[in-house]
């Protein structure tokens, strides 16, 4: 899994907590014979450009499940309100890790190749503070769904803004335009992440309830990788049949490194 010939190490960190108002104990929920966390660890194990994979948690049950699935574990405070804060604490134990990819612990279909591209971009372009991902919206109904976060980019591929509203507004309806759905994968330069968690909540972040807007409000540069891979997260028990069907449709190639190509 480690990247060869590099000195600045990149970690993939999966923040995981037991407490959830909508879905307590979600990381250990069984999907197709394996825990949700186990599926995520399996997907991340396919990456070739990460130097290490860590699970950051405050719960011994999650610790044991992560260890049983071959991941290293960092125990963190139970007081963290976000996964970003948990990841920042986890990094304190690993001074050699200069870049980190925040991998959501509830996305069992996450793309290894997108994670690898994030890791390589952070390693090679130190002027990029933060990196994330998006994919084209194919269902028009998603434009007005506040649970689907939209993002618009500049000509360099960096984020201009994220919103729960339709973005951008297509005034000339006859003109085709492919809006982008934000995917909740994040990567950070270590120094930037430490600054980020020290900043107070921003005005736009508070209004939209989108943590990444804090970075934009403070002048950060967020690179966005556009991929045609759609990763569906498990938010409620009602989604289980859909996600189990998608897991059942995966082939051995889907678990091989670098099979999901970005565009």
pLDDT tens per residue, range 229-251: 877 788 778 888 888 888 888 75
**In whole angstroms, what is the distance from residue 177 CA to residue 50 CA?**
35
Whether 94 is in a domain gets the answer yes
pTM, entire model:
0.88
Whether 260 is in a domain gets the answer no
Residue range 74-103, pLDDT digits in tens: 999 999 989 999 999 999 999 999 999 999
Residue range 26-69, pLDDT digits in tens: 999 998 889 999 999 999 999 999 999 999 999 999 999 999 99
Percent of residues, the chain, with pLDDT higher than 70: 90
Whether 1 is in a domain gets the answer no
Whether 2 is in a domain gets the answer no
Whether the predicted pLDDT of 17 surpasses 60: yes
Confidence of residue 169 (pLDDT cuts 50, 70, 90): confident
Whether 28 is in a domain gets the answer yes
Work out the mean pLDDT of the chain and round it to a whole number.
88
Full domain range(s) for residue 52: 9-255
CATH number at 180 reads 3.90.550.10
The predicted pLDDT at position 253 comes to 53
Percent of residues, the chain, with pLDDT higher than 90: 67
Mean pLDDT over residues 164-187, rounded?
85
Mean pLDDT over residues 175-196, rounded?
91
Whether 262 is in a domain gets the answer no
The tally of domains found in the chain comes to 1
């Amino acid at each position: 899994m480690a990247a060869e010939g590099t000195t600045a190490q990149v970690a993939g960190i999966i923040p995981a907590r037991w407490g959830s108002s909508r879905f307590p104990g979600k990381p250990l929920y069984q999907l197709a014979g394996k825990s949700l966390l186990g599926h995520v660890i399996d997907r991340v194990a396919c990456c070739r450009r990460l130097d290490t994979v860590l699970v950051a948690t405050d719960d011994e049950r999650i610790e044991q499940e992560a260890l049983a699935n071959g991941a290293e574990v960092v125990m963190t405070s139970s007081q963290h309100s976000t996964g970003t804060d948990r990841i920042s604490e986890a990094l304190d134990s690993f001074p050699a890790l200069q870049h980190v990819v925040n991998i959501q612990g509830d996305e069992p279909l996450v793309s290894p190749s997108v994670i690898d591209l994030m890791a390589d971009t952070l390693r090679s372009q130190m002027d990029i503070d933060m990196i994330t991902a998006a994919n084209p919206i194919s269902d028009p109904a998603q434009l007005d769904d506040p649970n689907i976060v939209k993002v618009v980019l500049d000509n360099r591929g960096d984020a201009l803004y994220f919103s729960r509203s339709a973005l951008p507004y297509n005034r000339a309806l006859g003109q085709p335009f492919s809006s982008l759905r934000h995917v909740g994968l994040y990567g950070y330069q270590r120094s930037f992440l430490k600054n980020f968690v020290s900043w107070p909540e921003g005005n736009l972040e508070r209004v939209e309830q989108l943590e990444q807007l804090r970075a934009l409000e403070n002048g950060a540069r967020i690179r966005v990788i556009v991929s045609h891979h759609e990763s569906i997260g498990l938010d409620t028990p009602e989604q289980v049949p859909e996600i189990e069907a998608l897991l059942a449709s995966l082939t051995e190639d889907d678990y091989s490194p670098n099979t999901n190509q970005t565009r």
